Homo-oligomer: A and B are copies of this chain.
Amino acid sequence: MFEVLFTHVTEKVSLTDEEKDMIKTFFSPKKLRKKQYLLQEGNVCKYLCFVEKGLLRSYNVDEKGEEHMNMFAWEGWWTSDMYSFFSGEKAVINIDAIEDTEFLTINAAAFEEMTLKVPKMDRYFRILFQNSLVTKERRLISAVTHSAEEKYTKLAESNPKLIQRVPQNLIASYLGLAPETLSRIRKNIALRK
């Protein structure tokens, strides 16, 4: 149950068996079937989630009712509405399952207690967030500076698994493109070969 999590954590910090046992007590396993919600906007996000198996998506809905993909989380990824989770305010994003998914959850109080009892987890999350920041910064630069085709090409190069596993309209949304545009881009790329 906790193999994926501990593999992931111990890549960044070493843990004793006692620490591992302690950490286990703060998490609860959960399952979600395809299309089920983990979080709907307007509710407070109660959990920080670590995916053991499957695929979750987070997205937000604008005033016009259009969905905008935010991030995908599969095996070995964390997801949550971090703002809502840490502040206790209402979430502005939605999270649901693209595939049947098994994951571990921790609530805010447990998270706080865990980091106080096992300070190495502060370090782990510091490093995790630090890496995420770098990634998010790159994506932001890419979103602002590249053409539609460049954005798609770079994503496909850096994350080919995503292209295979996620429906094309969600990829389009993730890149901030109309699904028709992405379809045409893929056609052009294929034609040029």
Contact = CB atoms under 8 A, between A and B. Distances in A.
Nearest to A126: B126
Interface in A102-139: 115, 119, 122-123, 125-126, 129-130, 132-134, 136-139
A140 B139 contact: yes
How many copies, total? 2
Interface residues of A, number: 30
A175 B133 CA distance: 18
Contacts of A129: 126, 129-130, 132-133
23 contacts: A68-B144, A70-B141, A82-B130, A82-B137, A83-B134, A86-B134, A115-B126, A122-B123, A125-B126, A125-B130, A126-B129, A129-B133, A133-B133, A136-B136, A136-B137, A136-B140, A139-B140, A140-B140, A140-B143, A143-B143, A143-B144, A143-B176, A144-B176
